[in-house]
Structure 1
Amino acid sequence: MQSLSHVNQQGDACMVDITQKPVTQRMASAQARITMRPQTLAMISQGNLPKGDVFAAARLAGIQAAKQCANLIPLCHPLLLSKVDIDFELDQANQAVLIRSLCKLAGQTGVEMEALTAVSVAALTLFDMCKAVDPAMCIGDIRVIEKQGGKSGHWQEDQSV
């Protein structure tokens, strides 16, 4: 079994030393899902919510969250992100909004945590913007769906999941 990288020999939490790691192009993409009543999804798609453009607010919140990841997750390295994208897809069949993030940089460590933080905060912002009309929304299915770069190379989730 592989040892944990964020634990030292004494068993204490520690930040991984990446000083000697080479700089490589890195990318990570994550996804979240927020399910809701059909009426709420219709209001979002028609732009009829009292708080305005929920996607604009959630997009900006997700971008800001990715940039703040190291301040939120104790052992994350502060990273110089070169790109953060947040996209939304209305999933009418499942009464949901899918949120996807893409984070990129040239660096010594991956950007999975930034991508996950971006979709999480974007989902929370969507919830905040819609909670007055649908307090029973459910945020879930938050996961990394693809990553590239570093010694592990390219990984993509099994599409059958």
Structure 2
Amino acid sequence: MAELTHLDPEGRPVMVDVSAKAVTRRLAVAAGYLELDEAAAEALTRGGGPKGDPWSVARLGAVGGVKRTSDLIPLAHPLAVEAVDVIHHWDPTQRRAWLRVQVSCEGRTGIEMEALAGVSVGLLVLYDMLKAVSHHMSLGPARLLRKEGGKRGLITLPWAGCPWEP
């Protein structure tokens, strides 16, 4: 059975010591969606509003979320992020606004939390952009689709209904 790495033998939270781990190329891809009601969906389809283009601002928010992950998650290591790619997809049938965030770096620890934080913050920004029209929106889920590098190597996690392959 795997042990929780962020707890010491007494059960207290600790930041994992990664100094002995090898530096490897790290990549993580996460995706998630915001489910909208009709009014919010119509506003998103129309595009710009008083706060600007919702998709552009959400994409910037996702990048900001990636960059601030170690500020948001207490035991996450600050990483020197080298690249962030954010793409979006609108599914009008299910009224789901999807975001996909891919993050990469060279480091001693994984970058999955950065990808997940990017998706989450980007979707929260989209919520903020649309809330003037409606608060009837649901956030999530957000999931890891792909992870590369480190001891475990490549991990892919297919998600039925997700517009992107892991």
TM-score above 0.5: yes
- Which residue matches 1:85? 85
Q: How does 1:1-150 map to 2 (within 5 A)?
A: 1-150=1-150
Q: CA deviation at 1:125?
A: 0.5
Q: Secondary structure at the match of 1:94?
A: coil
| Structure 1 Cα separation of the partners of residues 106 and 28 of structure 2 | 12
Cα distance change on mapping 1:160 and 1:58 into 2, 3 Å? closer
Say which SS state the counterpart of residue 66 (structure 2) adopts. Answer: helix
Q: Alpha-carbon deviation of 1:42?
A: 3.3
Higher mean C-alpha displacement, 41-50 vs 124-133: 41-50
CA shift at 1:158, angstroms?
Answer: 2.9
TM-score by length of 1: 0.94
Q: What displacement does 1:159 show? A: 4.1
Indicate how the Cα distance of structure 1 residues 122 and 96 shifts in structure 2: closer, same or farther if over 3 A, else same.
Answer: same
After superposition, the Cα gap between the structure-2 partners of 1:20 and 1:60, relative to the gap in structure 1 and judged at 3 Å, is same
Offset at residue 82 of structure 1 (A): 0.2
What is the percentage of aligned positions where both structures have the same residue? 37
Unaligned runs of 5+ residues in structure 1 are none
Task: Tell me what 1:153 maps to.
Answer: 153
Taking the aligned partners of 2:2 and 2:139, their CA distance within structure 1 comes to: 32
Q: Is the 8 A contact 2:145 2:159 kept in 1?
A: no
Mapped partners of 2:139, 2:75: distance in 1: 25
CA distance 1:143–1:17, shift in 2 (3 Å): same
**CA offset at residue 58 of structure 1?**
1.0
Summarize deviations over 1:31-89 as a string: whole Å, max 9, x none: 11101123422332331433221111111111111111111101000000001111110
Gaps of 5+ in 2: 162-166
Aligned amino acid, residue 22 of structure 1: A
The count of aligned residue pairs is 161
Does the 8 Å contact 2:86/2:100 carry over to 1? Answer: yes
